[in-house]
Structure 1
Amino acid sequence: MPETTPATPAFEFDRAVALTPHPEEAGRYDGELGDGWQIGGGVNGGLLLAFAARALALEAGPGHPHPLTVSGTYISASRPGPATVRTEIVRRGRSLATGSAVLSQGGTERLRVTAAFTDLAGLDGEVATTALPPALPAPEQCVGVEHAPRELLSQAALLERLDLRLDPATIGWALGRPSKEGRIQGWFRLADGRPADPLSLLLTADALPPVTFDLGRPGWAPTIELTVHLRALPADGWLRVSHATRNVAGGYFEEDCEIWDENGRLVAQSRQLAMVPRA
């Protein structure tokens, strides 16, 4: 039978995390980091986490299709171009597969990941939470990325791939009037209409401007470590995303994120440690 060429994914995000198993090295996957996912010169940390998690999902197999928790330590800045992910699944159980991955470019390590995978559709449906989704104006009453400062857009090709509508109450920083409360929130979806899924939520967790903007500290904040917990399969539609920080110390800050779907379900939570932007 003649060989068939795999179909090109219809959505940009799926093309960005597309990987090919290496024919001779078990656990190795090769792909291309596109130049449309840059932020401040480097490839966005959430996209990198999804890239590595995609490789681990392929290695974990169909019985554990979704990331449950993914934790990444960023070693060096990733650039557009070829990239390799080497994976190791250390345990496959009935409900969880646990593994690690190293993303590298040209032999230079960029990101090291540990993760657990499961089938989110099979989780216990009971929910007991005191968390509440952020109160936001309707998407059409929020501020789209097209209104972002020109200097911000020039450094963030990533924003062209997002339909991001920020809460007017948390964008005083764009007008030179940061609230100093350490919070940025808004509506999120991918610009080409791709439905959200657990893999794309890894990108969503790192897609808003750094919360330090609201502290009057503009500039891009390099991520040191990012951990995302996936809590449920997201419903199709808009996501509500809230980022906040409570502690800036020693040149570093934490950024806590919650992601809620159209049904008011908390579908992902994350925390990252990042460097405070230089003055």
Structure 2
Amino acid sequence: MADRWRVGGGLNGGYQLSMIGNAIRAALPDHPDPVAVSAYYISPAVAGPATVVVRPQRVGGRTATVAAELQQDSDVRLSVLATYGDLDAFPSDVRTTAEPVDLPPRDQCVPNTLAPDEIKEMAPFTQRFEMLFHPDEVGWAVGKPSGRGQISAWFRLADEREPDPLSLLMAVDALPPVTFDLGMMGWAPTVELTAHVRAKPAPGWLRLRHRTRNIAGGFFEEDCEVWDSADRLVAQSRQLALLPR
């Protein structure tokens, strides 16, 4: 596992999730796509060798359910229960009341390359992505958070690879902690994350929106929506995280 995916005291949770997701896909050739993934982050992953152990629980015609662990030495870093399937074989009809992420044109948004040096140092993994933030939601970078508890951005991989279902597992944990928009800066370790992949994304940029509505007991929830270039809601997630340290 590469140090360039570091954030705070560990490696980015979405990076870990996509690694374990790729191992699950390799074990399920007839069920290549993540559908629902619940992950518990047990201890911080570090740069270095890692092993993924996959244990199929049930393999059916339409879906398969597996348990998996990401291990380093004798330590379990991440424990996952996931359902996989073939998204191309699922019904294509869509009925939704969800509203797409509303972002200005990309040339009017704020690139992550302009992030303060302390943010780049704390989270070098962000340089693996190209993110263009809504200009009304980046005041936290200059000490002026909006207080709304929302961060949204255009998103793609830095190498400009087109998005796929596994990269959506990375996208749902790519933006800065939404607590930044509440003036709470710092690393916010994920405790649990559940992601639903609703469809294969169309080629092109993704649009991400992270929100929180409740901070209590030293934890906050972060809800994410991922929309593709065809205006489809292709992934949703909720994670519970510790408040920034």
> In 1, Cα distance between the equivalents of 2:69 and 2:158?
29
CA RMSD of aligned residues (A): 0.7
Question: Is residue 41 of structure 2 the alignment partner of residue 58 of structure 1?
Answer: no
Q: Who is 1:145 aligned against?
A: 112
Query: How far 1:160 moved relative to its partner?
Result: 1.4
Deviations 1:131-159 (A, max 9, x none): 01121111111111111111001111111
Return the alpha-carbon distance in structure 1 between the equivalents of residues 68 and 99 of structure 2.
34
1:237 aligns with 2:209: no
Mapped to 2, the partners of 1:220 and 1:141 lie a distance apart of 28
Give the whole-Å Cα distance in 1 for the aligned partners of 2:184 and 2:126: 20
Give the secondary structure class of the aligned counterpart of 2:50.
strand
Aligned to 1:35: 3
Give the % identical residues.
53
After TM superposition, list the pairs within 5 Å mapping 1:80-229 onto structure 2: 80-229=47-196
Tell me the distance in 2 between the aligned counterparts of 1:237 and 1:149: 27
User: 1:266 maps to which residue?
Assistant: 233
The structural deviation recorded for 1:96 is 0.3
The within-5 A match list for 1:66-77 is 66-77=33-44
Higher relative contact order (CA 8 A, sep 6+): 2
Offset at residue 41 of structure 1 (A): 3.3
Once the two structures are overlaid, the 10-residue window that deviates more, 181-190 or 138-147, is: 138-147
Shift of 1:105: 0.3
Aligned length in residues: 245
* CA drift at 1:218: 0.4
CA distance in 1, matches of 2:164, 2:107: 23
Helix, strand or coil at the partner of 1:126: coil
Separation of aligned partners in 2, 1:146 and 1:164: 8
Q: State the TM-score, normalized to the length of structure 2.
A: 0.98
Corresponding residue for 2:243? 276
2: CA distance, partners of 1:38 / 1:236? 27
Amino acid corresponding to residue 99 of structure 1 in structure 2:
V
Amino acid at match of 2:69: V
**Aligned-partner Cα distance in 2 for 1:72–1:41:** 19
TM-score normalised per structure 1 = 0.87
Tell me, in whole angstroms, the C-alpha distance in 2 between the residues paired with 1:40 and 1:125: 40
Give, as a single letter, the amino acid of the residue that structure 1 aligns with 2:16: L
Measure the CA separation in 2 of the matches of 1:37 and 1:254: 22
Task: Tell me the alpha carbon deviations over residues 186-242 of structure 1, each in whole angstroms, 9 at most, x when there is no partner.
Answer: 100001011100001000000000000001100010000011100000001000000
Structure 2 letter corresponding to 1:59: A
2:223 aligned to which of 246, 256, 259? 256
Give the residue type in structure 1 aligned to 2:188.
Answer: A
- Distance in 2 (CA, whole Å) between partners of 1:248 and 1:105 is 32
Q: How big is each residue's C-alpha offset from its partner over 1:1-40, in whole Å with a ceiling of 9 and x where there is no partner? A: xxxxxxxxxxxxxxxxxxxxxxxxxxxxxxxx11111111
> What letter corresponds to residue 6 of structure 2 in structure 1?
Q
Residue deviations 1:59-111 (CA, integer Å, cap 9, x gap): 12x21000001110000000010000111011110000100001110111100
Name the SS of the counterpart of 2:126 in structure 1. helix
For 1:194 and 1:41, locate their aligned partners in 2 and report how far apart those are by CA, in whole Å. Answer: 28
* Distance across 2 between alignment mates of 1:199 and 1:146: 24
Q: Residues of 2 paired with 1:63 and 1:38: CA distance?
A: 33
Give runs of aligned pairs for residues 5-20 of structure 1, distance below 5 A.
none
Distance 1:138 1:89 in 2: 44
